Structure 1
Amino acid sequence: MVQVTGLRKKFGHRIVLCDVNFEFSTGEVVGLVGPNGAGKTTIMKELLGLLVADAGNVQILGQPVSVTTHTVVTQQVGALIERPAIYPFLSGWQHLQLMTNSVEQMMWVVQALQMTGYIHQPAKRYSLGMKQKLGIAMALVGRPQLVILDEPMNGLDPQSVKRLRELIGQLAGEGTTFLISSHILSELEKVIDTVILVDQGQVRLQRTMAQLQESARQSLVIQTTENARALQILLQADYPVIQRGTDLIVTASVALTPLLRRLFAADVQISKVDQQREDLETVLLRLLAEGKA
């Protein structure tokens, strides 16, 4: 679906993208993540042919994309970049009419995003979340093969975020490909198949969520009535354990039963035992710090 090779971009003397390479296939939901200023939005604009690259090339569906050749290819692409382009005196319905002539498709996206109650009101009356939904609707209404969404969850309430996740999953199952940039990694990891991590204008990592989940570390969280004594008992038994607030954290996968028996044998009363797995943000930060990304 998308292939990016050797992409470079400078603004003045500032290097924004440096030899960016990645590719992904039809039907994938790809998360583009990284710190502010990493180059994520620039990559998305390059994919849409909105910026002139200094070097490298972009292909969508096997066709080159550039400022001069993007029109035909990007008819198969829907996008929301940075913020929705909204005309305040047009209604939401009129905005959708700018994107398609199909009333059926317009009705579909309005119902899918639960916009029926206000779609015919002027956009100047819309809240931040309503404008965000309209921007997403404009990206989806033409049922494009590729959808590029830049921070789509901004301004959405929890119910709307959940509905958007479900809709992305549904459309991906039907063959739509998504590239989504978001700082809300806890939500992003619920929907994406692949992560592309960008930092300082370079792709540091591209892995599937399954691969990242395999590399996620598990820890054991224990609370006792005598944490200081329990800590010493476990340290003396060579368990990798630290104290954090009222919790004792065993920082590696260990057999639970022998550990609990050791504490019980010392008459330590246990009030809580819980297993935790690193989330996406923690895994990515650790891989960066370890130089594995």
Structure 2
Amino acid sequence: MMQIQHLNKSFESKQVLHDISFTGQTGHVIGLVGANGAGKTTLMKAILGLISAQGKITIDGHPSSFDHHEILKEVGALIEYPSIYPFMSGRDHLKLFAKGPNQSQRIQSVINDLHLTHYIDRPAKKYSLGMKQKLGIAMAILNNPKLVILDEPMNGLDPQANKELRLLIKSKSQTGTTFLISSHILSELQKIADELLILDHGQLIQETTMKDLLAASVHYLILSTDQDELARQVLKAAGYQVLNDPHLKLQIPPKFNLEPILKELTKHHITVLDIQHQDGGLEDSVLKLLHQDQVLTEAAK
């Protein structure tokens, strides 16, 4: 659905995108993460033809650029903040953006999907941040585009609205819509993304699947014993990586063998009451990669 090849972008003398290449498969949800200023919004704007850039952008087999982007009729987007006319109702915004046949049916469908019914006919100037955000998402998906690009779509949404948006994105991806989503709320992105692009200082430092990234993440073991403080000392002395945590928490490698730990504790007459495994989440994995990239960058200097 989407292929980006050797994309570069500079603003005057500052280069903000460095030779970025990746592929987005049809029906996949692609997460785009990185620190503020990493180049995420610039990359999205370049794909949408909102700014010029050097490189090749192909969407659904068709080339797209700043001055040649017919294929963008098949793309929906919400970048930074939704463009809202304060004195128009939400429904009028959707009427303004609707294209093609069955417009009334599609408008009502997106109102129902995003639970906009109780305020859709009010002037948009009376909308909260979350209401405006949901209207912006509604406008992005209204015409059933093949590709949807969303920049921080969870901003301003409450937990229930976040859940509803996740379910909607997964439902649409399963019927063939491709999503490129930038978000700082990594816990939400972890629940929906199939693939992940990690940007740092305008460079794509990692392109991976969510499954592979989480499989390679840090793993923890949380123990509860009848003598936690003694158990902490015993395990530290035995060379285990015991974290400075209120719980008795150890960092462990994947496929870890518990038996040596249990033997060590039993030898000191410590009874194990409970054992829990915990995997590091997306946030831990991303921060680790960004730290590694920073260390390499500093070393190169």
Q: TM-score, normalised by structure 1?
A: 0.93
Other-structure match for 2:155: 154
Task: State the distance in 1 between where 2:245 and 2:23 align.
Answer: 44
Superposed CA RMSD in Å reads 1.8
- C-alpha displacement at 1:182, in angstroms? 0.1
Of 175-184 and 215-224, deviating more is 215-224
Deviation at 1:258, TM superposition (A): 4.2
Contact 1:110 1:137 in 2 (8 A): yes
CA shift, 1:228, in A, is: 3.6
Unmatched segments (≥5 aa) in structure 2: 297-301
- Cα distance in 2 for residues equivalent to 1:175 and 1:100: 20
SS in 2 for 1:84: coil
Separation of aligned partners in 1, 2:105 and 2:77: 20
- The match for 1:197 is 198
Q: What is the aligned partner in structure 2 of residue 274 from structure 1?
A: 276
Quote the offset at 1:83 in angstroms. 0.3
Structure 1 residue 207 displacement after superposition: 0.3
Is residue 92–residue 120 contact of structure 1 (8 Å, CA) maintained in 2?
Answer: yes
Separation in structure 1 between the aligned mates of residue 66 and residue 130 of structure 2, nearest angstrom = 31
Shift of 1:261: 4.2
Selected match of 2:94 from 82, 87, 96: 96
Superposed CA offset, 1:18-68 (max 9, x none)? 111111111010001100001000110111101011x21211112111121
- Show the counterpart of 2:63: 64
* SS across alignment from 2:130: helix
The offset of 1:272, in angstroms, is 4.7
Q: Which residue of 2 aligns with 1:263?
A: 265
AA partner of residue 276 (structure 1): Q
Distance in 1 (alpha carbons) for counterparts of 2:171 and 2:121: 26
Tell me the matched-pair count.
Answer: 290
What SS does the corresponding residue of 1:255 show, helix, strand or coil?
A: coil
Q: Within 2, Cα distance between the matches of 1:185 and 1:232?
A: 34
Please say if residues 154 and 183 of structure 2, whose CA atoms lie closer than 8 Å, have aligned partners that are also in contact: yes
- 1:100-136 Cα distance to aligned partner (Å, 9 max, x none): 1500100100000000111111101111110000000
1:12 corresponds to which residue? 12
| Greater displacement, 262-271 / 240-249 | 262-271
Aligned to 2:73: 75
CA drift at 1:174: 0.3
Residue 198 of structure 1, CA deviation: 0.7
Say whether the 8 Å CA contact 1:231–1:241 is kept in structure 2.
no
Aligned residue in 1 for 2:299: none
Distance 1:244 1:167 in 2: 40
Offset at residue 248 of structure 1 (A): 2.5
3-state SS of 2:192 partner: coil
One-letter amino acid matched to 2:61:
G
Q: Identical aligned pairs, as a percentage?
A: 46
Name the structure 2 match of 1:219.
220
2:287 matches 1:285: yes
Counterpart of 1:286 in 2: which secondary structure? helix
Are the aligned partners of 1:222 and 1:249 in contact in 2 as well (CA < 8 Å)?
yes
Unaligned regions of 5+ residues in structure 1, if any? Answer: none
Q: Which amino acid aligns with 1:154?
A: N
Aligned match of 2:141? 140
On the 8 A contact 2:243/2:251 being kept in 1, the answer is no
Q: Tell me which amino acid in the other structure corresponds to 1:24.
A: G
Q: Give the distance between the partners of 1:202 and 1:98, measured in 2 at CA.
A: 37
- 1:225 deviates by 5.0
1 CA distance for matches of 2:292 and 2:201?
17
User: For the Cα contact (< 8 Å) 1:222–1:272, is it kept in 2?
Assistant: yes
Q: CA deviation at 1:285?
A: 2.1
